[in-house]
Amino acid sequence: MYEKELKISQSAARQAGLFLKKEFFDWHKKNIGYKIHNERATWCDRQAEKIIFKAIRKNFPNYDILSEESGQLDKNSNYTWIIDPLDGTTNFTMHHPMFSVAIALAYKNEIVMGVIYSPILDELYYATKNGGAFKDQRPLKLASTKDFKKAVITYCHGSGRKNTEKAYRLYKRFHDLCHHCRHFGSTSLELAMVASGKTEAHVVSGARLWDVAAGTILIKEAGGKVTDWQNKNWTMKSPTILAGAKTMHTLCLKELQKIRLA
């Protein structure tokens, strides 16, 4: 199921990624702009979005679209494409290779497909509902770590003072408990890292849908657990995320409850 959607979104992600890779190495061409909350934006974000839009509109003209750059474009469809054409713009402008293209598809408010492409590493992650999760055609496998002292936990946060303060508390709590606690600056890739067993869990405060949609289905289809901080099943309206292998999810949830009560 969703074979055509997967094929088109994989191709679109690669095309956008190849464009971003070229621009990444042509450093002198970049002009940095700023959106609300001083978030960085470049013409590359918008051009990558155009590449993806062209492929999607040609093949699925009646689907809704939600994109970081253009917002909500409604066609009154049960299907919605959720797009982050450049997840990790600040990294991109710093000439840091940790950025990605993320494309997800929702059906009636449920994520049913996700694609994440890392242009510099040339790694393509993808998953469909009940179809498994893969990286470059190889099934993804979550980490089996059950000890915080051997775990790497990643985190990120949305804009605003409250989310920033939560992130400070997250970092302090998990930094003291874990082997490492890190923030890489591309939420999609951080979720893909969990799904592929490179890290043990990812925690998000103030999650924006286009940042997390594709990654959530990767982790679910790899056998992991994705909830909010109250341990309720994650939905497209959830403001927080805790994602990881089931044992590590349980351990992290206990610590999050301590942070919330502190």
Q: What is the pLDDT of residues 164-199, one digit of tens each?
A: 888 888 899 999 999 999 999 999 999 999 999 999
Structure-token pair, residue 164: 């920033």
Question: Would the pLDDT of 129 be above 60?
Answer: yes
The domain over range 148-261 is classified in CATH as 3.40.190.80: yes
CB of 238 within 8 A of CB of 200?
A: no
DSSP 114-135: EEEEETTTTEEEEEETTTEEEE
pLDDT for the residue 191: 98
Contacts of 231 by beta carbon, 8 Å cutoff, 6+ apart:
242, 253
pLDDT for the residue 249: 97
Question: Would the pLDDT of 88 be above 70?
Answer: yes
Q: Which residue has the tokens 């998990």?
A: 174
CB of 7 within 8 A of CB of 47?
A: no
Q: Is 211 annotated as a binding residue?
A: yes
Question: Would the pLDDT of 253 be above 60?
Answer: yes
Q: What is the pLDDT of residues 70-85, one digit of tens each?
A: 778 788 899 999 999 9
Question: Would the pLDDT of 17 be above 80?
Answer: yes
Average pLDDT, the chain: 91
pLDDT for the residue 219: 98
Q: How confident is the model at residue 248 (pLDDT cuts 50, 70, 90)?
A: very high
How much of the chain, in percent, has pLDDT values that exceed 90? 76
Q: How confident is the model at residue 40 (pLDDT cuts 50, 70, 90)?
A: low
pLDDT for the residue 2: 96
Query: Which of 55, 51, 49 is closest to 67 using CA atoms?
Result: 49
Q: Is 121 annotated as a binding residue?
A: no
**Average pLDDT score over residue span 18-34:** 78
CATH fold group of domain 3-139: Fructose-1,6-Bisphosphatase; Chain A, domain 1 (3.30.540)
pLDDT for the residue 36: 57
45-48 long-range Cβ contacts below 8 angstroms, 24+ apart:
45/69, 45/85, 45/86, 45/89, 46/85, 47/19, 48/16, 48/17, 48/19, 48/20, 48/85, 48/86, 48/101
Looking at the chain, which residues constitute the CATH 3.40.190.80 domain(s)? 148-261
Q: Is 86 annotated as a binding residue?
A: yes
Question: Would the pLDDT of 41 be above 60?
Answer: yes
Angle at 211 (CA atoms; ends 209, 45), nearest 5 degrees? 115
Structure letter (DSSP) for residue 233: B
Structure-token pair, residue 44: 């590359």
Contacts of 236 by beta carbon, 8 Å cutoff, 6+ apart:
106, 109, 110, 111, 209, 213
pLDDT for the residue 170: 86
Contacts of 203 by beta carbon, 8 Å cutoff, 6+ apart:
153, 154, 155, 170, 174, 240, 241, 242, 243, 252, 256
Looking at the chain, which residues constitute the CATH 3.30.540.10 domain(s)? 3-139
**Spatial separation of the C-alpha atoms in residues 146 and 179, rounded to whole Å:** 12
